[in-house]
A and B are shown apart, each in its own frame.
Chain A
Amino acid sequence: MTVRGWIDLVETSDFQTVDVLWRDADVLIVAAQRA
């Protein structure tokens, strides 16, 4: 799944503040906060 795909899944699930903390060739780290 792409970075956009992961972010879309999170945003669709009502999380308000979403950020990519890290991305390299192997891993994506996302933080998503509930308002």
Chain B
Amino acid sequence: MQQPPIDQSEIDARIKDHVEELLHLWWAEQGGAAKDRDLQIISSSLPFPRDRVLRTVDLCCGPGDLGRAIRQNYPNAQIDFVDRDPLLLSICREFNGRAGVPGTYRQLDLNDESWCQGMRARHYDVIATANALHWLSAIRAEAVFRDIHRLLDNGGTLFFAEPASPEVPFAPGFDEWKTRQQSRYEQGNWKAFWDRANWLVGYDHTELLGSREGSRIGDG
């Protein structure tokens, strides 16, 4: 993604008094209670004893919901919060600081082939990510999965939550049914988060995120 017109410390200063509001808007944008359920499924399924000093990466962490959910079940977990976006990392860092959640923070972009160069191979117990890998192309996602495999220790586990589409023969009927269900994602919630975030930082951050089109895996 493109870099913002202001530096990290200025982003931090502009959002620091508004992180709880931004987190609430983010929670709604990500699907509300359904996102909570996803986080609980992942954080409950980690194949390790609860008192372990779990070496963990919240990959594409955004504001850090998944890492904090893991930390709730694993109070000794050491979380590396990784995201390409300095604004979302800023929210994550500020909220964790207030909540007393320790962690390290790395601004890394999975579209950069050297993204994990500074991370220890065969070190981590858990690498988990939610609602992020579909922003990559399938070729890039496969390369990232190989990188994650290298980063995990023996017995280490990858968890991911991503959109999935039905196989072709089943798609028409399934998609027709889906149109009649309450939607998890609402454009209004996306707009509410980003309108507020943009106003706080003083520029249009969404212009830095890159296109939703192209070769990325996408939502379907």
Q: Which B residues are within 8 Å of any A CB, using their own CB?
A: 31, 34, 38, 41-42, 45, 47, 131, 134, 138, 141-142, 145-146, 148-149, 152-167, 174, 177-178, 181, 184-185, 217-218
Contact = CB atoms under 8 A, between A and B. Distances in A.
Contact of A31 (B134, B152, B157, B162): B157
Q: Is the interface of A mostly helix, strand, loop or mixed?
A: mixed
A15 B159 contact: no
Interface in A1-35: 1-6, 9-10, 12-15, 21-23, 25-35
A4, A14, A21, A25 interface centre (most CB from chain B within 10 Å): A25
Contacts of B218: 1
B155 A34 contact: yes
A32 B138 contact: no
A20 to B, nearest CB: 9
Nearest to B159: A31
Contacts of B38: 22, 27, 29
A10 B167 contact: no
Given A21-B45, A25-B178, A15 B141 contact: no
A6 B134 CA distance: 10
A13 to B, nearest CB: 4
Contacts of A30: 158-162
Nearest to A29: B161
B42 A1 contact: no
Contacts of B42: 21, 29, 31
